[in-house]
Amino acid sequence: MADITHTAPTEDRQARRINWGAVSDHAVLIAGALFMMAPLVMLIQMSTIPDAEIMQTGPSLEIGNQFWPNVKKALLGAMSFSGEDTGLSMFRSSMILGLGFAVGKIVISMLAAYAIVYFRLRFATFAFWLIFTTLLLPLEVRIVPSYEVTQKLGLLNTYGGLIIPLIASATATFFFRQFFLSVPDELVEAARIDGAGPVKFFIDILVPLSQTMIAAIFIIMFVFGWNQYLWPTMITTDESKYTLVQGIKQITQSLEGTHIPEFGRSNLLAVLAVLPPVAVVIFFQRWFVKGLTESDK
């Protein structure tokens, strides 16, 4: 109380007003962060409590001792009778899908963008339009005929059938094209004077120059591939090749029924399904944000 009498009233009011503004900013941000974080915290909290108890009371603030037993169940236990879709095997399939998609997409689209930007091609405009029309139609729209084509080619239940049709769009090609166009022409001229051919120029100059772009695109594509749901659900019926995201459906269905639903294991499988993409996004935040905002999808 003594302090207040010492300071001038106007100054005090001003100091307090600025303070309140910052407090309300933080309050909004904390509320937002809680809204985003709460579900994850809840999933993990529930997995530390015995399932029978959770079934009665639901999530709470209590921390139990069931976490590690549930982790073990989630990783090694299988969802179905075949016993082939364990957490670990689904994790492996998801990795193959995420990495295969990201790598395949980057390689194929870099080559195509290089051909379009750096070569005098008679049918360049035609190829350009052929490729960029694919930006218009997401896979979901042509899902049934895509399935039929994949089936005709005998690619059901293969990683090829899972990954290759997903690559059939031009998002990354478009992005690399924009980037290559921004590379100064003088570089090609200098390389040609020094006697470098197109292959040498690509490998020794263009690829190292694109490193940051490749990293950014890789992160976005990995997350996109890992998170695929509809396509794997249709293409993969072999349980040993199930992905985690696809397995979520089985997980949810296992929560129904008369027996005690295995919340602990299911929740941890859901956490496992978001862990790698979330880790990538957080650890490589700068590249990820750059890739997202500069590629404009």
Partner 1 sequence: MKRAGFDSRWLPVFLLMPQLAIILVFFYWPAWQALQSSFYLEDPFGFGSTFVGFENYLRLFRSSEYLRTAGFTVVFTVLVTFFALSIALLLAVKADKVLHGARTYRTLLMWVYAVAPPVAGFITLIVFNQRWGPLTEFFALFGWDFRVRLDYTDTAIAMVIASVWKQIPVNFIFFLSGLQSIPRAVREAALIDNRSASARFWTVTFPLLAPTGFFLLIINTTYALFDTFGLIDTILRNNPGDNPITLVYKVYVDGFRGQDIGGSSAQSVVLMVLVLALTIFQFRMVDRRIHYT
Residues between 67 and 86 with contacts to partner 1, criterion CB under 8 A:
none
Q: Could you tell me the smallest distance in angstroms from the CB atom of residue 152 to partner 1?
A: 9
Q: Could you tell me the smallest distance in angstroms from the CB atom of residue 129 to partner 1?
A: 11
Place of tokens 């139990």: 64
Q: Could you tell me the smallest distance in angstroms from the CB atom of residue 82 to partner 1?
A: 19
Does 59 engage in binding with partner 1 (CB under 8 A)?
A: yes
Does 6 engage in binding with partner 1 (CB under 8 A)?
A: no
Q: Which residue from 143, 156, 209, 215 is in contact with partner 1, where contact means CB under 8 A?
A: 143
- Locate 29 and state its tokens: 């941000």
Contact 181, 114 (CB under 8 A): no
The DSSP result for 32-91, as a single string, is HHHHHHHHHHHHHHHTTS-HHHHHHH-S-S---S-HHHHHHHHHH-BSSTT---BHHHHH
Q: Which residue from 12, 15, 41, 58 is in contact with partner 1, where contact means CB under 8 A?
A: 58
Distance CA 217, CA 211 (A): 10
Q: Specify the residue, 8 or 136, whose C-beta has the smaller distance to partner 1.
A: 136
Does 206 engage in binding with partner 1 (CB under 8 A)?
A: no
Per CB under 8 A, the segment of 4-12, 71-79, 203-211, 222-230 that binds partner 1 is 222-230
Q: Restricting to residues 82-141, which ones interact with partner 1 according to CB under 8 A?
A: 108-109, 111-112, 114-121, 124, 127, 130-131, 134-138, 140-141
Q: Specify the residue, 96 or 292, whose C-beta has the smaller distance to partner 1.
A: 292
H or E element at residue 147: helix 143-152
Q: Which residue from 164, 205, 209, 215 is in contact with partner 1, where contact means CB under 8 A?
A: 164
Place of tokens 């998801």: 94
SS3 233: helix
H or E element at residue 109: helix 87-118
Q: Restricting to residues 167-186, which ones interact with partner 1 according to CB under 8 A?
A: 167-170, 173, 180-181, 185
Q: Could you tell me the smallest distance in angstroms from the CB atom of residue 5 to partner 1?
A: 29
Q: Restricting to residues 13-52, which ones interact with partner 1 according to CB under 8 A?
A: 21-22, 25-26, 28-29, 32-33, 35-37, 39, 42-43, 46
Q: Could you tell me the smallest distance in angstroms from the CB atom of residue 2 to partner 1?
A: 29
H or E element at residue 235: helix 230-235
* Closest alpha carbon to 217 in 175, 169, 280, 168: 175
- Locate 180 and state its tokens: 């290559």
267 CB-side CA count, 13 A: 25
Q: Restricting to residues 237-296, which ones interact with partner 1 according to CB under 8 A?
A: 245-246, 248-249, 251-253, 255-256, 263, 266-267, 270, 273-274, 277-278, 280-282, 285, 289, 292-293, 296
Q: Give the count of beta carbons closer than 10 Å to the beta carbon of residue 254.
A: 17
Instruction: Determine the residue type at 222.
Output: F
Per CB under 8 A, the segment of 64-72, 76-84, 193-201, 205-213 that binds partner 1 is 193-201
Q: How far is CA 65 from CA 20, 46, 62, 69, 71, in A?
A: 42, 11, 10, 8, 11
Q: Specify the residue, 114 or 218, whose C-beta has the smaller distance to partner 1.
A: 114
Q: How many residues does the chain have?
A: 297
